Structure formats: structure tokens, C-alpha cells
Amino acid sequence: MGRSHLSICPYVCPFAMLKLTTVNSLRFRPFGGAVRWRSATAQPAADTSVDPEWENALPFEKIPAPSLIGFLKEFGPFGKYKDGNLYDINKRLRELYGPILRMNGSFGREDLVMTFVPEDFEKVLRSEGPWPRRTGMDSFVYYRKQHRPEYFKGYGGLLAEQGEDWHKMRTIVNPIMMQPKVIRQYVDKVDTVAREFMAIVHGLRDEKQELPADFNEWLNRWALETMGVLVLDARLGVLDKDQTPEVTHFIDLTKEAVTLFYQLDILPSIWRKLKTPAFYRLMRALDELYHLIAARIDEAVIRMEKNPSADQDTLSILEKLLKVDRNAAFTMSMDSLFAGVDTTSSGSTGILYCLAKNPDKQEKLRAELRKIMPNKDSPLTPDNMKNMPYLRACIKESLRMYPPTSGNGRCTGKDLVLQGYRVPKGILVGMGQLVLQREEGYFTRPSEFMPERWLSGEAASGCPSAKEVHPFIYLPFGFGARSCIGRRLAMMEMEILVSRMVRKYDIGWNYDELKYRATLVNIPANDLKFQLKEVSD
């Protein structure tokens, strides 16, 4: 396979397609002890069937691939798309190279195939096997497995782990983080944070009742504070006006880590061959974060030892994880802080924006909310939240138009033929869902915000139905066994925040169209100066 060309992962996302290193060569102990469950767990049967098209398909190397010069001309520092967001870049790549293209690996990175055809997405995801591989985040993997193996005791975590080790962790965490019963347990706590946030939001408005330019920062803080409650059983204090230096440092470190991941793992970087200053900065930032989070977990352990919960059913997520293993609890909390903050805050931005731009839909949603929340500050409960179909449809529709991640990614689980080309087992395939989700021919009237397309019967009121769309185009939380572990928590968080915002305020937007910019997560490029006029009743 040629490796002479520039490699950049054009469709990026930390969890969806964190492209990068293979860690096959790394040996480690999942539990830090002498016994390796690798030997105790049977390898699931691999799909050994041969793709019937394989024999006559074109070789992998024939898949169109941008040359270094061609790539730089478009996307380099002087190229037309130098500041393009991922949507623009993906669209341009398809225009230039067609519906399938190959980005050659370089400086230790893997090759990546990018496709814009839903039948390919389906083929790849349906043959992912029982231990789906989604490689990426090399620097993350490096930190946990090579730089500080003693901290993690073999637990690479869901984001970074592959194969049997990923499966073991996922089996531990699924019943703890995905059970509706567990999610319901957190409604009140998440609502408490949301109410505090609302009080802050109220005071942030200027004389035009607009929020400040840095409102995105506040949304991030809300998401971080909420995540502290969900996975650390602790109030981090990031919403407090008078922050301790420790809290300020914590916020700065998470931001720095995300920026450095993007530089090292998504943009072209030579760190895998030659350690760069950014690489060392990331290792230092992760060390500091490790110690801050470890201190919180130690506090939680002491709290729990002092006041052991009598009722096993109402143990918190952290308590349940700690009962399995401290390292499992630690890794999962850390992963949630990385994967669950920017995503949830970016998702919430998209929803608020879509509602602000569509006052009729916003009013319709408010009518639904008034039934559940007769007063602006009526409590939200697991019971009354069951009845919010229009809210859920609004969230689905905004995740279609403004998804926090840029598409899905999977390594092929076996040799496959995509669009007449051979793609050997193990190649990372990126899926251009970001483009298709907004494209006529896939979704009808795609540029219109139509929550009704996600409803059925009378509620759909003659609107084109999302059910007619290829089911592998819209996967905001991924697919199958490796899909987002936090999706139920994220939905609950967004439902609570949006309910509170829309019930209390008429949300407006007086500026240019919302644009996202490329980082690990799609984050807003605009100032988020929403206008919030309090509703009278």
C-alpha cells in the first residue's frame, strides 16, 4: 500500500472515528492481576464467508486517492477550504474524488477509506462482528498503554480499547449506564443542575436580552457539571461564579487535552515517529487530569465507605462501577468526561438554534411542555418526562441537521467489496453521513427543520417521513454493540435542559446562520448570542 501521500482524517470525531494506531502489539493485563481473562473468554466465531464480489473486484490501491499536491491545493494553508468545516470538506472531497476515496496513511497512521454510499455503511456495519473495531485516538491509547500503564492497570477504556478487552469493559458498563432504570434515577439530580444553570443564564442576558458571545463556554460548563453528577457523584463547581483555582485549572486542562488530541490525532502530525512539543504537552495535561479525577474518585470511595448505600438498586453509576473494580470506575469516569461534555453541549446548541430559527415549532413544543410543566419551574420527573414526543422529535431532527459528531467509522470485520473495490479486513472506513443527512435524495426537504418527520400518524401531519430514509444514514449515536454508551444519559440531559429553556423563554436568533467548525467534535463557530425573552405564563 502506498504511503507517500498526505494523510488527514477529513471526517473526524473523537469517538465516532478516532482514526489511528493499531495496538495489537501492546500486551497488557486487563485487571492488573496475574490472571488474563483473554485466556478464559472464547473468541467469538468470526464471519469467514467470502464476499461474492471479491474475485472480480478492483484492487484496494485503485480506489481514488488525493495526491499531496491536490490535497494541499484545496485544503492546505492557502487552499480555498483551509477554514472549511467538515461538512464543506466532505462535500468537496466527494466532488473531487467521487463516492469512495482513500486517504493514505503516513507517519504511522492507518489508511482510511471514506465512502458516501449508504449501502456501504450498511455493509461495513453489518459485518463488524461481535467485537467491532473503531480505531483512532492513538495519543489516548499511547497515554494509557505505554506512557502510564501503571495508572490504568490494563483498562484501556471503551474509547480506546479493541477486541476482547473492549468487550469485557462494555459488558461491565452496559447494564450500569444503559439501563432506563438507572437513567431515571438521575432525572432529579440532572434537573437540579439545569435549574441552577437557568438562574445563571437569566443573569447573563444583556439589555437586548441576548446571551453573551461566550455562551458556548457556559453550555460546556453545564455539560461538565452534569457529567460530574452522573459519573463522579460530585458537584465539580464549574458553574460557580467564584471558581477555585483548582476548578479553573480543571476546565483549562480538559480544553487543552481536547485541542491537543485534535492536533495530534486528526491533523497530520509526526508524533508517532518523533515526539513533538504538543505530544509532551498532552501527556502532561493527561497526567494532571488523571490526578484531579483520581482525587474525586478517592473522595467518592471514602464517602461511600462512610455511608454505604443500603439499597443495592439505587446505587449510583460510580458506586456500581466501584463494586466491580476501582480501575473500571476510574477509566469509565474519565472517558465520560472526554466523550460526554462537548458532544452534549454541541447537541444542545443545535437544538436551541433550530428552535430559535423556527418559532412555530418552538411554540408547538412549548404547548407540549406546558402540559407537563404547568409553571415555568415545575419539576421534571421520570414519569412526566415519558410524555414528550414532540421534544424527542425536535432533538432527533436537530441531531440530523447539526450532529455533534461527523459520521461513523468502523474497521472492516472481513474482506469486503465496496463500490467494486476490494477493502481488506481491518481497514478503517469513514462514513459520510454528515453530508447525506442534509441532502435531497436522502431526506426530503433536508434544509427544513421538520420534527414531524420523526413522528407517525396524525402527528406527522402530511410531512415526509424519516422512516422512508435508508436506515444507515442517520446514526447520531452510532450503531450496534459499539454505539454510544452515554446516549440515554445524553438524551436525558438534553431533554431536561431544552425543556427548561423553552418553557421559560421565547428563544430567538438575530445573526448569521449557525456554522460548526472542525475539532474532535463539531462545535459552533459563531457567537451563541441567543435572545431570550421570558414568556409570560
Nearer to ligand HEM by Cβ, of 340 and 508: the residue is 340
Across-strand partners of 265? none
- What letter represents residue 22's amino acid? T
285 close to 337: Cβ distance less than 8 angstroms: no
| Contacts with ligand HEM, 347-386, as mask; x by CB under 6 A | x---------------------------------------
Residue 297's alpha-carbon distances to 59, 331, 341, in angstroms, are 51, 11, 18
The least CB distance from residue 15 to ligand HEM, in Å, is: 4
9 in a labelled binding site: no
Amino acid at 374: P
In angstroms, what is the minimal distance from the CB of 458 to ligand HEM?
29
C-alpha cell at 141: 491509547
135 vs 531, beta carbon nearer ligand HEM: 135
Alpha helices in 178-214 (DSSP H): 180-185, 187-204
All cell numbers assigned to 22: 493499531
Bridge partners (DSSP) listed for residue 411? 428
482 binds ligand HEM (CB under 6 A): yes
Of 36, 10, 262, 248, whose CA–CA distance to 140 is shortest? 262
**Nearest Cα to Cα of residue 345 among 494, 530, 191, 183:** 494
Considering only 105-113, 190-198, 308-316, 475-483, which stretch makes contact with ligand HEM by CB under 6 A? 475-483
One residue of 10, 11, 15, 443 binding ligand HEM per CB under 6 A: 15
Count residues near ligand HEM (CB under 6 A).
27
Q: Does 216 bind ligand HEM (CB under 6 A)?
A: no
Pick from 22, 378, 384, 483 the residue near ligand HEM by CB under 6 A: 483
79 or 163, CB closer to ligand HEM?
163
**Cβ distance to ligand HEM smaller for residue 278 or 337:** 337
* 50: exposed, middle or buried (Cβ count in 10 Å: 0-12, 13-18, 19+): exposed
| 140 scored as a contact of ligand HEM (CB under 6 A) | no
Nearest to 286 by CA among 143, 385, 500: 143
Closest to 7 measured CA to CA, from 285, 259, 273, 255: 273
Is residue 129 close enough to count as binding ligand HEM by CB under 6 A?
no
Query: How many C-beta atoms lie closer than 10 Å to residue 292's C-beta?
Result: 17
Cβ–Cβ under 8 Å, residues 519 and 258: yes
Pairing mode, strands 428-431 and 112-115: parallel
| Alpha-carbon span 279 to 528, nearest angstrom | 32
CB-nearer residue toward ligand HEM: 106 or 437: 437
Closer CB to ligand HEM, 157 or 508, in the complex = 157
Smaller CB separation from ligand HEM, 84 or 340: 340
DSSP summary character for residue 407? -
488 is an interface residue for ligand HEM by CB under 6 A: no
- The window from 145-153, 281-289, 443-451, 474-482 that contacts ligand HEM (CB under 6 A) reads 474-482
Q: Which is nearer to ligand HEM, 57 or 401 (CB)?
A: 401
Residues in region 314-353 near ligand HEM by CB under 6 A: 335-336, 339-340, 343-344, 347
- Of the candidates 10, 30, 105, 404, which one interacts with ligand HEM according to CB under 6 A? 404
CA–CA separation, 109 and 115 (whole Å): 19
Query: According to CB under 6 A, which one of 63, 86, 100, 158 is a site residue for ligand HEM?
Result: 158
Q: Which of residues 244-263 bind ligand HEM (CB under 6 A)?
A: none
Q: Does residue 16 interact with ligand HEM by CB under 6 A?
A: yes
Residue type, 200: I
Instruction: Figure out which of the listed residues 105, 129, 476, 524 binds ligand HEM, where binding follows CB under 6 A.
Output: 476
- When asked if residue 490 is in the footprint of ligand HEM (CB under 6 A), the reply is yes
Asked if 206 and 212 count as a contact pair (C-beta separation under 8 A), the reply is yes
Helix (H) / strand (E) element for 328: namely: helix 326-339
Query: Least Å distance between CB 484 and ligand HEM?
Result: 3
What does residue 507 show for φ and ψ, rounded to 5 degrees? -95, 130
All three cell numbers of 16, joined, read 465516532
Q: Which stretch binds ligand HEM (CB under 6 A): 205-213, 301-309, 421-429, 483-491?
A: 483-491
| Residues of this chain that bind ligand HEM (CB under 6 A) | 15-16, 134, 158-159, 170, 335-336, 339-340, 343-344, 347, 404-405, 408, 476-479, 482-486, 489-490
- Residue ranges for the known binding site for heme are 484
- Residue ranges for the known binding site are 484
